[in-house]
Amino acid sequence: MPATFSIINLGCPKNLVDAERLAAALEGAGYRLELEPEQAELILVNTCGFIEQARQESLDTIGEMIVHRRAGRCRGLVVTGCLSQRYPRSLWEQLPEVDAFLGIGGQDEIVDVCNQILDGRNKRPCLIPDPDGLIEERIPRKRLTVPHSAYLKIADGCDNRCAYCAIPIIRGRYRSRRLEVLEEEARELADRGVRELIIIAQDTTLYGRDLPGGPQLPELLERLGKIDGLRWIRLMYTHPAHYDDELIETLAREEKVCNYLDLPLQHVCDDLLAAMNRRITGEQIEGLIEKLRTGIPDLTLRTTFIVGLPGETEEHFQQLMTFVERHRFEKLGAFSYSPEEGTPAAGMPGRPRQGVADRRLDQLLQLQQQISLEHHRSMMGQELEVLVDAVIPDTGAPDETGQEWSAAGRSRGEAPDIDGMVYLAGEGLTHGRFVTARAEAYSEYDLFARAVS
């Protein structure tokens, strides 16, 4: 029988695509994917190292897998991804029960490493690539998402050099994949049943800047919009400083592009934006939001903010609260600043005490909860196009809404894993099906709807 492996992915969707490539390399060499780590002979942990909370989650997960290594049938434990890329030596020294460390990528090495572990030839390799290496053009993927939805990673690395962010240290300079390669991959995904294509990169709005001819995101969206089978195209990780009129017009014109934008703003006060090297002012952000709201009908805007940045005063925070109250983003995430080794912000003075940052984070999220409730209340009675992600087993018992919901999915206004869900009542609801449903109940983050067709 073929040897089995299990892969645990942590962090963002960009990391997930890397995990899919590792899984495909092992399957191509005859290994078999096992969903339950405790049943696998090899366990891979694809780590995240973005902020302290993510690093701790990665270390906790590695610790749990070490327990499986000791007690179960596991014969080898491999740690890959951003945490290995950033701290290879310290991890190698601190985690002697890990059999190998690979940095980002690792598709070329993973099969040899796993073969050596199972053959008893393992020497605990620590293989860390140059993050500025060439972007991989066509690498097979073993998709780990639901069959009808897939990510398309259009670039890797980042050139923005935001003062608080370690991504350029971990993943190197910005490197776009060629337009023709992306179009080919998207067609193959559509041929395999993908109906929702989610465009990701560290900064999708910079796509093509490093290729001949300059930025090419509008052309990419137009090409993807012509692919038969694709129904939704969702754009994530856009940078507010890199929008132009052509891009906004393309977003509004292309029918398959969801009227949903992920627009991380991080803050709105000019002195903090300058200190963060965001290359945009609060006035320019205001103007961009007005353009987007005016140009794209029924737009769902998701944004992210950081509180507790070095130099953030109470006045800065209140300006942020006023800004959020005024613009009433449909989706909003926030987190407390984490000083990252090697970044300019880590040495900046004036960082608020952690208790102050935690209080500000709580206040901001409470405000957003109220905004989200009011937004969902305004949607009652509306008909939504919903893509079914999961069928819920029949329990025969209603939930707190008084209904028994038979499926869960998302409208154009929800991205997978980061936004809420649309819970559905109705007959014949199956995975990957698009249904029309009427909203009839809500919570802070989820909608509840009844299928009408």
Is pLDDT at 349 greater than 80 in this prediction?
Answer: yes
Note whether 406 and 394 are within 8 A (CB). Answer: yes
Is pLDDT at 137 greater than 80 in this prediction?
Answer: no
- The pLDDT assigned to 134 comes to 65
Work out the average pLDDT over 144-170: 95
User: Residue 107 — pLDDT band, cuts 50, 70, 90?
Assistant: confident
Is pLDDT at 394 greater than 90 in this prediction?
Answer: no
Kindly list the structural domains of the chain, giving each domain's residue range(s) and its CATH number in brackets, ordered by start: 4-127 (3.40.50.12160), 149-377 (3.80.30.20), 383-451 (2.40.50.140)
- The pLDDT assigned to 11 comes to 92
String of b and e for 436-451 (b: at least 16 CB within 10 Å)?
A: ebebbbbeeebbbbeb
Percent of the chain at pLDDT > 90 equals: 87
User: 349 or 108: which carries more pLDDT confidence?
Assistant: 349
Percent of the chain at pLDDT > 70 equals: 97
Contacts of 226 (CB under 8 A, 6+ apart): none
Q: Is the dihedral of CA 33, 37, 42, 43 positive or negative?
A: positive
Note whether 251 and 222 are within 8 A (CB). Answer: no
CA dihedral angle for residue 451, residue 408, residue 152, residue 375, rounded to 10 degrees: 80
What's this model's pTM, rounded to 2 decimal places?
0.94
User: Which of 414, 422, 328, 335 has the alpha carbon at shortest distance from 375?
Assistant: 328
Q: Rounded mean pLDDT of the chain?
A: 94
User: Residue 395 — pLDDT band, cuts 50, 70, 90?
Assistant: low
User: Residue 188 — pLDDT band, cuts 50, 70, 90?
Assistant: very high
SS3 200: strand
User: Residue 436 — pLDDT band, cuts 50, 70, 90?
Assistant: very high
